[in-house]
Structure 1
Amino acid sequence: MTQSGRHAQTVIKNANIITIDPRTPKASSLAISDGKFIAIGDNTACDSLIGPDTEVLNLSGKTVLPGFIDAHIHVLNSGIRHVMAADCDLPNIPLIQQALRDRIKETLPGGWIQGFKFDDTKTQEKRFLFKSDLDAVTTEYPIMVAHRAGHIYYLNSTALAAANFDDNTPDPPGGRLGRDPDTGGLNGVVYERAIEPIRFGLIPPETPDIRQKGLITICKMLNQVGLTSVHDARVIQTEFDAYQNGLDNAELTLRVYALMYHPHFEALKNAGIKTGFGNEFLRIGGIKMIADGAIAARTAYISEPYIGSDCDHGILAMTQEEIETNVINMHNAGFQVCIHANGDLTIDMVLDSYMKAQKLNPRTDTRHRIEHCSLVNPDILRKMRESNTIATPFCTYVYHHGEKMPFFGEERLKWMFAQKSFLDYGITSTGATDYPPGPFEPLLGIQSCVTRTDSNGKTWGVEQQISVDEALKIYTLNGAYASFEENIKGSITEGKLADLVILSDDPRTVDPNTIKDIPVERTILGGNTVFEK
């Protein structure tokens, strides 16, 4: 179908267009004008819209999809870390120590040396970092290294002293201080909410220049893999300011749905702002809270102990009363609520709170979310369907974190990252990676959902395999639904925002174990190319 009387800015022809629109699932050409799709059809459908200034792209059979949407990813914070912290995704502890030493010359007096993306299971030593490891780097500066999962941190002696943590300090609510099993003294490992006084009190805030560089860095990284929209999974005030500045300066090349960190809830409510405020580039999303630990860190709060333990059920970061009180207040204020809950025990607590809030104050179309929603069961699935709760499960975890799956066991994996169960129960689930904890590449996430096979060829939870078409919808239209934006993006449909990705091959026809290797040729945002190979 075409529109007469106007010429298009761009026409794509001879393409394998997968629209994710059930009314017109396939097409060969499309036209773009004023940042939106204005025509989609067979190979001649858009010819009348070609004018002297129209850019015509002859794709020779390459595949076109709506721009990918990652519905749970730490965007700006990751970009900032790439600019000012040591990347500790390295094969052994000596290399990690050297990466941290390299940051000393970049650190001002009074500053902290930081590292991120450390993963104990991917090092040769297969162990945590301890304060002795970090003291060997320096005791002149405090050091804080984040586990790739983001829920465990490692401090040197100087950082422990700055936080007033000593051997007699009790575990704080919602957190834990790691201790030497022989002496009982602090070993430098800090779990969950115990790190909050340091992260949000002691570490100096980044400069506006670093935040700007971080934004440019992460936008480039994500555009290169076909991402056009992201749900930033924990946004604080300074980061939202950076997004606004990036938008004003034409440096923001992603559409951002900002899940605001819960301490900002009262200020937003008092300002009369709620979920949905903003525009097609930058929008206030839900309020983000964290109720338990992490899968990659093996601290998710689960009903049965982790494999190899008789008593380790993980960490509960919020009590039932805390969850319920906050949910009711946020629900009543008109917000979408987005709670990180990995373990089945925690998920059930969150669902009970969502259902109680809705019973006390019925609202239409709340679309409350469970971030990660990793371990489910039939009762949880029924509650999610009844309450119209959205799931944002990890999509790249099975592939990337295969070495951690034995901690959960074969039986439990049948109910983890449960995309097939969500589909079967009529629950909306999305594509999500949680980067840094999981790799951010959408094609890797799609492959992992389809094959449930890790990087060593081991399959986990084959019961949760889904088709490529289902995975493509999860990474596009479902992501738009999770931000109340399915009417403006998520499919190649006339009138929607012209966000798309061009791939060199069709994910539906290649060997499923090679989907991650398909090159991204071009990423287009609102009709403008933001990445070209």
Structure 2
Amino acid sequence: MPNSTIHAETIIKNANIISMNPSQPRAESLAIWSDKLLAVGTNDEIDGLRGSQTNIIDLSGSTVIPGFIDAHIHVLYSGIRHVMQEDCALDSIESIIAALKLRAQNTPAGQWVMGFKFDDTKTDENRFLTKHDLDIVSTKHPVMIAHRAGHDMMLNSRALELAGYSKESVDPPGGRIGREPTTGEPNGILYERATDRVKNDLLPPVTSTDRRRGLEVICRMLNEAGLTSAHDAMVNTEQLKTYQEGRKNGDLTIRTYMLMLKDYFEDMRNAGITSGFGDDMLKIGGIKLVSDGAIGSRTAFLSKPYIGSPCDHGIRAMEPEETQHWVSRIHEAGFQVCTHSNGDAAIDMVLTAYEKALKENPKTDARLRLEHCTVVNPDLLRRIKASGCVTTPFCTYVYYHGEKMPFYGEERLQWMFAQRSFIDYGINSTGATDYPPGPFEPLLGIQSCVTRTDYAGRSWGLNQRITVEEALKVYTINGAFASFEEDIKGSIEAGKLADLVVLSEDPTAVDPSTIKDINIERTIVGGRTVHEA
């Protein structure tokens, strides 16, 4: 215990503390001074740190755990979309069209009407939107709807015209233009890098006000779910400015580890910036690469074809030579390399590049990251372990995206979102959701990992189930390890940051199928309450 002359600013007592600290797994009280944990112990031990000004929080038996960490989520991107676009997470194309028509009526002619979080498998019609659907929305506005998986988009005829896509257009490298089966004309669906010219050249610019409002919105949403840290998996320099402003004025209430887009690698390298630049609230993380497509929209690059589509292996977004070029340069420059790789064929390609880069420039504890790392096998697992890689698999997908699992087949599902295998092979695996593609609520992710059962009660890949205690570790200390921060957060122990979540029930003591229903009573970041129910 610290010297008794030191008085805590805040004491939490009568709590059920699950610390994630092996040397002190459980406790009933803790003390906070400034933004750090001063001590953890029994009620009597911690009461000795009480002073006349100490704030006492009596939890009457509620559970306290370390703040949740989402190691792969699109933080500011999501917030901006909530501000600028229509939420299309609706259950029918008819209702989506109606919502977009209303938005078009309130948008000046010629300006973009945009939506996000559309998911074909969640609609009654069970199909993508086409230009014919979106022409019903408007012919006076360009219309763009992003798929929830984040890799594909759907356009109306006006937007296709602006993009310059026609029957004669050739599929760009790493992308595909959806076409009418009889005429070959573009049908409005763009896959992977075919979306680049729309995203990069046509969509309206995001203003500083949009970004600032987006940060406020998303921080509130994440704090309400118990998240205290996030690894933002796609950050550009304008977003970096917004983060810096939020850090300065107090609007940033999520500790953020930023994965920067490779477009900014050269400038940062030339400025002498590497991974770890920043402080415990806002930090430059790794450089983000993308090697293949998405699980949700069935474009992940697989060694064997999708069930029912014998010629479809998904999409490889980077060629092996390009992958090796970027991996080697980024690693040599001192950055953590973070490569989106879903399918087993993509993971194999990325691992080959990692192995060569590590051989050329050996570095102790590089923690190269495989973002998502969805479809694995024993050989890939051995190589991941040997290379010291960190994985960030989707944690909420089995529960939320159950209707998509049949596309992968039972055999492959035994090796998808493979938390059990990662643990058994000694690989550091984290809690991650990729929101907006998957829901971001950590308790839902924990339930999904523990039960491997979806919203309809269907089970998928039960061999990959993990325990609640293991899932809590995945969502806390493992996430801190992925950002080289396990010494300052991820567990409840003296000297670490006071990032905490108060739960209405103990997730290790309830029916696992009800974990997602546990209430988040309070979220604390650096000793400051940022959410209270």
Q: Note the alpha carbon deviations across 1:134-182, whole angstroms, 9 max, x for none.
A: 1111121111101110111001111111111111100000000000112
Query: After the TM superposition, which residues 92-171 of structure 1 pair with which residues of structure 2 at under 5 Å, given as runs?
Result: 92-107=92-107, 111-171=111-171
CA distance in 1, matches of 2:51, 2:105: 56
| One-letter amino acid of the counterpart of residue 115, structure 1 | G
The answer as to whether partners of 1:430 and 1:474 remain within 8 angstroms in 2 is: yes
The equivalences for 1:420-439 within 5 A come to 420-439=420-439
| Distance (Å, rounded) in 2 between the aligned partners of 1:522 and 1:57 | 11
Determine if the alignment matches structure 1 residue 464 to structure 2 residue 497.
no
1:54 is aligned to 54
Alignment of 1:385-396 (within 5 A): 385-396=385-396
User: How far apart, CA to CA, are the structure 1 residues paired with 2:360 and 2:349?
Assistant: 17
* Number of the residue aligned with 1:205: 205
Q: Deviations over 1:410-429 (max 9, x none)?
A: 11110000000000100000
1:192 paired with 2:195, answer no
One-letter amino acid of the structure 2 residue matched with residue 437 of structure 1: P
- Correspondence list, 1:472-483, <5 A: 472-483=472-483
Residue by residue over 1:199-242, the C-alpha shift from the partner in whole angstroms, topping out at 9 and shown as x without a partner, is 12211221111111110000000000100000001001111111
Matched residue type, 1:282: L
**Which residue pairs with 1:87 in the alignment?**
87
The aligned counterpart of 2:14 is: 14
**Aligned equivalents of 2:322 and 2:43: distance in 1?**
57
Query: Distance in 1 between the 2:269 and 2:102 partners?
Result: 43
Per-residue displacement from partner, 1:251-301 (whole Å, max 9, x unpaired)? 001000000011111111111101100011110010011110100101101
The question of whether the paired residues in 2 share the 8 Å contact of 1:3 and 1:39 is answered with no
How much has 1:475 moved relative to structure 2? 0.1
Alpha-carbon offset, residue 104 of structure 1: 2.5
User: Equivalent residue for 1:36?
Assistant: 36
CA distance in 1, matches of 2:273, 2:196: 26
Q: How does 1:52-451 map to 2 (within 5 A)?
A: 52-107=52-107, 111-451=111-451
Q: Which amino acid aligns with 1:442?
A: P
Question: How many Å apart are 1:110 and its aligned residue?
Answer: 5.3
Normalising by structure 1, we get a TM-score of: 0.99
- Post-superposition Cα deviations, 1:379-410, rounded to whole Å, max 9, x if no partner, equal 10000000000100000000000000000111
C-alpha separation between the residues in 2 aligned to 1:406 and 1:509?
Answer: 32
Q: TM-score, normalised by structure 2?
A: 0.99
For the aligned residue pairs, the C-alpha RMSD in angstroms reads 0.9
State how many pairs are aligned: 533
Q: Aligned-pair distance for 1:107?
A: 3.7
Given that residues 104 and 137 in structure 2 are in contact (C-alpha distance below 8 angstroms), is that contact kept between their aligned partners in structure 1?
no
Separation in structure 1 between the aligned mates of residue 160 and residue 210 of structure 2, nearest angstrom: 26
Structure 1 residues 450-508: Cα deviation after superposition (integer angstroms, max 9, x where no partner): 00000111111011000000000000000000001001100001100000000000000
Structure 1 counterpart SS, 2:43 = coil
Q: Give the whole-Å Cα distance in 1 for the aligned partners of 2:108 and 2:486.
A: 46
Asked whether the 8 Å contact 2:83–2:213 carries over to 1, the reply is yes
Residue of structure 2 equivalent to 1:517: 517
Secondary structure of the equivalent of 1:12?
strand
Residue identity in the other structure for 1:103: R
* Amino acid of the structure 1 residue aligned with 2:310: D
Structure 1: 5+ residue stretches without partners: none
What amino acid sits opposite 1:134 in the alignment? L
Determine the C-alpha separation between the residues in 2 that align with 1:139 and 1:45. 70
Task: Tell me how far apart the structure 2 counterparts of residues 516 and 279 of structure 1 sit (CA, whole Å).
Answer: 32
8 Å CA contact 1:85, 1:103 repeated in 2 = no
Shift of residue 108 of structure 1?
Answer: 5.1
Offset of 1:311 from its aligned partner? 1.1
CA contact (8 A) 2:289 2:338 kept: yes
